[in-house]
Amino acid sequence: MIIKPRVRGFMCVTTHPVGCAANVKQQIDYVKRRGPVANGPKRVLVIGASTGYGLASRITAAFGCGAGTLGVFFEREGAEDKPGSAGWYNSAAFHQFAKTEGLYAKSINGDAFSDAIKQKTIETIKADLGQVDLVVYSLASPRRQHPKTGVVYNSTLKPIGQDVVQRGIDTDKEVIKEVKLAAATQEEIDNTVAVMGGEDWQMWIDALDAAGVLAEGAKTTAFTYVGEKITWDIYWHGTIGAAKKDLDKRVVDIRKKLAARGGDARVSVLKAVVTQASSAIPIMPLYLSLLFKVMKADGSHEGCIEQVDGLFRDSLYNAAPKFDPEGRLRADGLEMRPEIQEQVAALWPQVTSDNIDALTDFKGYKQEFLRLFGFEIDGVDYDADVDPVVPIDGLVE
């Protein structure tokens, strides 16, 4: 079939398998150009491995460190009359590129919150890798069924303590609008923490540890975003922020567990980028469009792969990692520079529906958004027939 982008709100409901493969190849090429990561891990588990920062972590581990990787994700396979999810095609491409270079790669498709998927992962590690040196936790989901109680929790994107009126871009109509967001109830806060907080990360590490599949000196990291004042009302001071602060609490016990065998656990702070998750946050398309404008002019713009590759080289596997006072690893330094934030803040109130293209890089934002789904990739013929059925070579059944 010939596949074109069809966008509805913060989702593109079509995906392009050839475009996704080309996007993965570009990220691999970036990491390879940077050369090997000194003292990098050799056996890596990535939980949430198919898109965004999780995919970038898997690529960096494999093609920067020469690691065998096991990825866990929940994606949809393509059918003859309907494309699969972008994460499915990303993973299929990753497997092919890894195979070409003789790198171990297997993947497990299913609900990473469940005990069954944790057990399948442990069995695969025991059979193939023995143990893992690094566990990257990069899940992004709107809902979670608790594996012990069966209770289903749904996350929300709301401020805490007060109603908030936020500026944003209506990405369908390409106009500036104001959105009123009602303050979250305590139940909504608790539910968001249950979905996006650190409990599942801790459950994974506890299960892996109990099974004896964490190597001596093993490390783990989970990703967070802190941002600055412009985004705090809906992010760091909102329900998502409450969940991210739960990571900061949980990592303390995880670190103690791994330290007993010479390992470490850290929350890693990454910069704002276009991902399927960030696109759903009302304020982020406008913030990102302004950030892209300022950072591209400054020559410091980065995407997922640049951020994660830098995290591995500068902090995770560096003798002098970049810590903040809370003990987090920081890779967001370029975004957080005062001169960058001041420029974004100055432009923020000036943007109108008439000057979006002049004052922001909304065009660049849209391009990055479509790239998530395999579109807007240089060198791909989007008028050519493509087969939406693409198997993943190395899927654990």
Q: Which amino acid is at 347?
A: L
Structure tokens at 392: 């993943």
67 φ, ψ to 5°?
A: -85, 145
> Helix, strand or coil for residue 170?
strand
> Helix, strand or coil for residue 44?
strand
Distance between CA 261 and CA 68 in Å, rounded?
A: 22
DSSP string across 60-74: HHHHHH--EEEEEE-
Q: Which of 235, 287, 317, 365 is catalytic?
A: 235
Distance between CA 61 and CA 311 in Å, rounded?
A: 11
Distance between CA 263 and CA 217 in Å, rounded?
A: 4
> Distance between alpha carbon 303 and the CA centroid of its chain, in Å?
11
Instruction: Cite the DSSP H helix spans in the chain.
Output: 17-33, 52-65, 86-100, 115-124, 186-196, 199-210, 229-232, 239-259, 284-298, 304-311, 333-336, 338-347, 356-359, 362-371
Q: How far is CA 70 from CA 54, 88, 213, 308, in A?
A: 12, 15, 13, 17
DSSP H or E segment with residue 268? strand 264-269
Match 């990454």 to its residue by tokens: 270
Distance between CA 374 and CA 19 in Å, rounded?
A: 4
| Catalytic (active site) residue 53 | no
> Helix, strand or coil for residue 82?
strand
Q: Which amino acid is at 58?
A: R
Active site residues: 235
